Chains A and B, each alone.
Chain A
Amino acid sequence: MRWVLLLLALATPARAEDPALARLMQGFAAQPRSEARFSEEKAIPELDLPLPSQGTLRWQAPDRLEKHTTSPIDEVLRVEGGRLLYERPDRGIRREFGLDEQPEMRALVEAVRSTLAGDLAVLRHHYEIGFTPERPDAPWRMVLTPLSIRVRAAVQRILVSGRGPQIRSIETEGGGGVTRMQINP
C-alpha cells in the first residue's frame, strides 16, 4: 500500500507551467512600452457612493510604471526599480521611499508591473495565480491571491483580465471594499 502511495506521489507532476499563460507573458515581454487611459471606481463599505477617478497609465520596460490620476485630483504614483515616488503637484508634495519598506504596496505594484513586464517568476513570488485562457467570447483572467499573510490582511484578491497582451481591467478586493479599474488602450 505504501509503495502505491509513493508511486502515485512520484507520478504527480511538480507544477506544470500553463503554456497559454507562458505565451501571454511572452506577448507582454515583447512590448517595451505602452500607454493607456484608465477609469477607476473605489467602493468602500463606509461610503454611500463609489469614488471615481481617471487618468493615464504608462509603462516603460524594464521596470518603470506610472499612474497619473488627473481627475478629480492630480496625483502621480511612479515606480522605478525599488523606489516609489508619490507626487501631488497642486500641494507641492513629493515623497520617495523604498518599495521594500511597504510589502503591501510592493505586492500591488508587482501585480501590474510584472504582468506588463511578462515576468512570471516575480508574479509567482508574490501571488498564487489562477489562470483562465482567452476565448473568443471572453477575455483571459488571472486571479492573484497574495502569498504573504501580512499582505493578505490588506488585499485579499486581485483579478486581472485582458485581451492579448493588453490589460483591460484590474479588480482589487481588500478590507471589505473593491476597486475596479477599466483600462482603455
Chain B
Amino acid sequence: MRRLVAALLVLAALGGALGALVGVRADLAEFLPAGRSPASAFLFRELQSGAATTLLLAGIEGAEPAELARVSRETAAGLRASGRFDFVGDGTVTIDEGEQALLFRYRYLLSPETQPEAFSAAALRPKLEALLEGLRSAASPLLARFGFADPTGAFLGLARAFLAESRLEVRDGAWFAREGPPRALLIARARGGAGLDAEAQGQAVATFRTAFEAARPGGARLLLSGPGVFASEAARSIRADVRLITLASGGLLAAFLLWRYRSLLLLGLVAVPLAAGTIAGFAVTALVFGGKVQGIALGFGMTMLGVTVDYPILLASLRRAEEGLDAAARRIWPTLRLAAASAATGLAAMLGSGFPGLVQLGIFAGTGLLVAAATTRWVLPWLVPGARIAARPLPGPIRAALGLLRGRPRLAGGMVLGAGLLLAALGGPSWQRDLAALSPVPREAQALDGELRHQLGAPDVRVLFALGPGTEAEVLAASERLAEAVAPLLGTAPERLQPGRDPPGGPADATGPQGKAASSAPGTGGALDAIDLPSRYLPAEATQRARQSALPSPEAAQAALAEAMAGLPFRPTAFAPFLAALGESRALPPLTAATLAAEAPTLAARLSPLLSRRGEAVQGVALAQGVRDPAALAAVAQRLGDPRILFIDVKAETEGLLDAYGRATLLWALAGGVLVLGLLALGLRSPGRALRVAGPIGGSLLVTLAVLTLLGEALTLFHLASLLLLAGLAIDYSLFLAGDATDDTVGAILNCVVSTLLTFGLLAFCQTPVLHGIGLTVSIGVASAFLLACALAPRPHPHA
C-alpha cells in the first residue's frame, strides 16, 4: 500500500515536470500537413501565418443603438491610440486630409484612365461637358472643389475604389448590422502585415478587450472573432470543456468501480498504468517531435489511453481466489500481451497517414498502451503483492441476460449482416470534406465568425490567386497581368472607374456605395463578380512610369484644353490647377508600398492584406468574389502559365487534401488490420481462432459505421482514429471472451465496457466537434463489440 502511494506520488511529480518542460502547441494549422501541392502549401502557410491571422471582427450588442454607437466609436479610438493596429474600421473611416492629398497628388500615376489619348482635345471635350453637367447637378459642391484640378475625374474614381465598404449602414458614426437586433460592427487589422504568431494574436485580442472596457460599455456585450480569438480564447474554452468532462467522467468511473469492487485500492491500481502510459507517451512524442507536442494530439491521446484502465481491472477481476496478484498477472499475460500488442499495431496505422497530428497521436497512444500493459504485468503485483480485490457477482438479471446472449453466432451474424445491408442502403459512410469540421473551434464560435463576416462584408475566401513570391514590382506586375486576363470573365470591365460615362452624377461619388472597382451587378453572366487585386490599389512601378510618359507636355496640354473648352462657359484660367498638376505628376517618383504605408496608413490598410513581405520576398494574393465558374478561373491561370500566378480553389484544395489523407489513413488502417490478424494468428497459433477473435472486431466496426451514418455523422480523420482505438478495445474483449469464459470473465469484461462507456459516453455530449465525434464512435463501438463478443463466445458450462 505504501509502495502504491509512493508510486502515485512519483508519477505525479514526473508528469508535472514533463508538463513544465515540454511546450504544447495549440493551433490547428500545425496539426495539419504541410501540403503536397504548391497550392496547398501556400494555403496552409497563409492559414498559419498569413495576413488573415491579423484580422479581428467584432460586434457590440445589448444596448440602445445610440449607446452602441458611442461604445463602438470610443473602442475604435482606443484601438487607434494603442498603436497595435494598422487599420481600425468602425464607420468613421474617411480619408483624412493628408491621405486625400497623397491620393490627389498621385492621381495620374494611380488611375488606370491615364493613357496618352486621354489628354487629347477629343477625349477632354466630353469630360468637360460631363463636368459642366455635373456642376448643374446635386453633386456640384464636390465637383466645384475637385473638378477644375481634375476634370477627368481620376481622383474621385480612386477615392471610391479605396473606400470600398461604405455599403454598411452607418448610424451615429458607427457601422451597424443591417438585419437582426441592433449590433455595432468593428473590424481591426493588427500590426504585422505578414501574419502573427499565437502570442501576438493573443496580445491583439487583449488590447481589443481593454479598449472595449475603457469605453465604459455598461450593459453592452462584445462579441469578438477572428483567427486570433480562435487561437487564444477558443483553445482555452476547449481546455475547460475537456477538464470538466475529465473530472465528471473520472468521478463517475470512481463511483462505479467502488460500487463494483468495494475497494479504494483498486482505484489506485487503475491510476498507475494510466499515468505511466500517459507520461511515457508524452515523453516519447516530445522526444520524436523536437520538444513540442500538439495540443490536440495530447488531449486526444490522453483520452485514448483511458482504455488502459481495462488492464488493471482485468488483472484484479480475473485473479482466482487462491492466487496472488503476481501469479494472476503471469497467467493472463499471454492474452494481455497479445491484446496490447495488437491494439498498438492497429494504432501504428496512423504513423503511415502522413498527417502530422495523427502521427503524433499514433506514437503517443501506441507507446502509452504498451507501457500501461507492461506496468500492469510487472509493476502492479510488486506495488501491492497481497492485494485481495474481488468484484461483486453480477446482479442476477444481468447475468441471466448475458447467459442467454452467449453462444448465438447466428444472432451476431445477423446483426453484422443487417449493419452491412443498412450501410449499403445508406450509400456507405459519408466522408467529412469540410476543414472547419476538423477545427477544434466550437460550432457557436464558428457560426459567430461566419455571421460577423457576412455582416461586415468581409471576403469569404473561397477562390484566390497566389501572386509571387518576388520583388514588389514583380508581384504587382503579375497582379496586373492577372487583372487583364480575368477582365473578360467579369460582368463588366475591371478597374474601370468611369467618371466619363457615368458622370460624377451623385454626391454618392465621394464615398459612393459602388465601391468595388471591379464590381458588377451579380447575375450578369460572368464567371465571377469581382476580384480584389493588390495592383488595384498600387500599380506596378513600370505601369506608373508608363503613365507618367503618357502625360502630355504643358504646351500640348494647354493646346488640347483650349480646343476642348471652345464654346463652353469655362473661364480661360479655370483649369490652371489641372495643367500644373500634369507637370507635377511627370516629375513624381513612383509610389511604393512603403511610401503609402508611411503617408497614408488608412489607404495602406487596403493594400496590406493583399501584399505582404516575407523576409526578402513579397507575396501577393488576389481574392475572387461571387465566383460562379471556378473552372474558368483555373483555365485563366493555366493559360497564363505564369510562374508567379497560382490558382487556388480553397474548398476544392482542402477537400482534395482531406480526401487524400482520408484514403491514405484508410489504406493504412486496412494494412494494420491485416497485420493485427497475422499477429493474432501467431499468438493464438491458429488462423481459425484468429478469425474467430477478429470476427467481433470487424463486426463492431461495421455496426459502428452503420450507426454513425444513420445518425448523419460525416466521418473525419478523428472518427477513423477512433475506429482504430475501438479495434484495440474490441481485441481485449474478444480475446478474453474467446476462451472458456466464466461468468467472472464476462463480469470483468462488462466492468471494462461500462468504464469505457462512462468515459467516452460523456465526450459525445461535448460541443467541440472533434471530441463529440470520438465520444460517439467509441461508445457505439464498445457496446456493439461487447455484445458481438458475447454472442460469439461459447455457451457457458451449466455450473461455471
Give me the interface of A with B, judged by CB distance under 8 Å. 42, 44-49, 51, 53, 67, 69, 72-73, 75, 77, 82, 84, 86, 88, 91, 93, 95-98, 100-102, 104-105, 108, 154-155, 174-175, 177, 179
Cβ–Cβ contact B511 & A102, under 8 A: yes
Cβ–Cβ contact B506 & A93, under 8 A: yes
In chain B between 73 and 92, which residues have their CB closer than 8 angstroms to a CB of chain A? 91
Give me the interface of B with A, judged by CB distance under 8 Å. 91, 94, 132-133, 135-138, 140-141, 144-145, 148, 166, 169-173, 502, 505-508, 510-514, 569-571, 573-575
Which chain B residues lie closer than 8 Å to A49 at the CB level? 569
Cβ–Cβ contact B505 & A93, under 8 A: yes
Residue of A nearest to B134 (CB): A73
Can you give 26 A-B contacts (C-beta < 8 A)?
Answer: A42-B140, A44-B140, A46-B148, A48-B569, A53-B136, A69-B137, A75-B137, A75-B505, A82-B171, A86-B506, A91-B505, A93-B502, A93-B505, A93-B506, A95-B512, A100-B172, A100-B173, A101-B94, A101-B170, A101-B511, A102-B510, A102-B511, A108-B141, A154-B145, A174-B144, A179-B140
Residue of B138, B148, B173, B510 with most partner-chain A CB within 10 A: B138
Q: Give bound CA distance, A108 to B166, whole Å.
A: 21
Q: How far is the CB of B524 from chain A (nearest CB, A)?
A: 14
Cβ–Cβ contact B171 & A100, under 8 A: yes
Which chain B residues lie closer than 8 Å to A100 at the CB level? 91, 170-173
Cβ–Cβ contact A86 & B505, under 8 A: yes
Residue of B91, B132, B140, B514 with most partner-chain A CB within 10 A: B140
Choice from A48, A101, A154 contacting B570 with Cβ under 8 Å: A48
Which chain B residues lie closer than 8 Å to A42 at the CB level? 135-136, 140
Cβ–Cβ contact B144 & A73, under 8 A: no
Q: Give bound CA distance, A101 to B94, whole Å.
A: 8
Which chain A residues lie closer than 8 Å to B513 at the CB level? 95-97
Tell me whether A88 and B141 are in contact in the complex, defined as CB-CB below 8 angstroms, given that A46-B148, A82-B171, A101-B170 are known contacts: no
Tell me whether A44 and B135 are in contact in the complex, defined as CB-CB below 8 angstroms, given that A84-B507, A155-B141 are known contacts: yes
Cβ–Cβ contact A98 & B169, under 8 A: yes
Tell me whether A97 and B508 are in contact in the complex, defined as CB-CB below 8 angstroms, given that A47-B135, A51-B135 are known contacts: yes
Choice from B136, B140, B144, B574 contacting A72 with Cβ under 8 Å: B136
Residue of A nearest to B140 (CB): A42
Residue of A42, A73, A86, A179 with most partner-chain B CB within 10 A: A86
Q: Give bound CA distance, A86 to B139, whole Å.
A: 10
Which chain A residues lie closer than 8 Å to B575 at the CB level? 46
Which chain A residues lie closer than 8 Å to B138 at the CB level? 67, 69, 75, 77, 86
Cβ–Cβ contact A51 & B136, under 8 A: yes
Q: Give bound CA distance, A28 to B686, whole Å.
A: 104
Which chain B residues lie closer than 8 Å to A98 at the CB level? 169-171
Q: Give bound CA distance, A82 to B169, whole Å.
A: 10
Cβ–Cβ contact B507 & A86, under 8 A: yes
Residue of B nearest to A174 (CB): B141
The 9 closest A-B pairs by CB, nearest first: A46-B574, A86-B506, A95-B508, A98-B170, A48-B569, A100-B170, A49-B569, A77-B138, A95-B506
Which chain B residues lie closer than 8 Å to A174 at the CB level? 141, 144
Cβ–Cβ contact A105 & B140, under 8 A: no
Which chain B residues lie closer than 8 Å to A69 at the CB level? 137-138
Q: Give bound CA distance, A175 to B166, whole Å.
A: 26
Residue of A nearest to B136 (CB): A51
Q: Give bound CA distance, A95 to B514, whole Å.
A: 9
Which chain B residues lie closer than 8 Å to A75 at the CB level? 137-138, 505
Which chain B residues lie closer than 8 Å to A177 at the CB level? 144
Residue of A nearest to B69 (CB): A100
Q: Give bound CA distance, A177 to B172, whole Å.
A: 31
Which chain A residues lie closer than 8 Å to B508 at the CB level? 86, 95-97
Which chain A residues lie closer than 8 Å to B136 at the CB level? 42, 51, 53, 72-73
Which chain B residues lie closer than 8 Å to A97 at the CB level? 166, 508, 511-513
Q: How far is the CB of B439 from chain A (nearest CB, A)?
A: 36
Cβ–Cβ contact A91 & B145, under 8 A: no
